[in-house]
Amino acid sequence: MDDKTKKGPKDASRIDINEDYEVQYWKERFEVSKEELERAVKKAGVLVKDVEKELKK
């Protein structure tokens, strides 16, 4: 069972859009909406470096 008190990602190199606390963390980190984050993950994959590149386009 996931620890819901956690604020950061389980794996700092990947984004898990199925975990609300991770979505919240990455939205704030990249200053994007949930929809923008989900689109970027869908297009670029789950690796943070790839998502970051996609969001900067």
Domain boundaries of the chain, sorted by first residue: 20-56
9 pLDDT tier (thresholds 50, 70, 90): confident
Neighbours of 45 (CB within 10 A): 14
Specify the pTM: 0.83
Percent of the chain, pLDDT > 70? 88
Average pLDDT, the chain: 90
CA 35 to chain centre: 11
12 pLDDT tier (thresholds 50, 70, 90): confident
Residues 31-55: tens digit of each pLDDT = 999 999 999 999 999 999 999 999 9
**pLDDT at residue 33, as a whole number:** 97
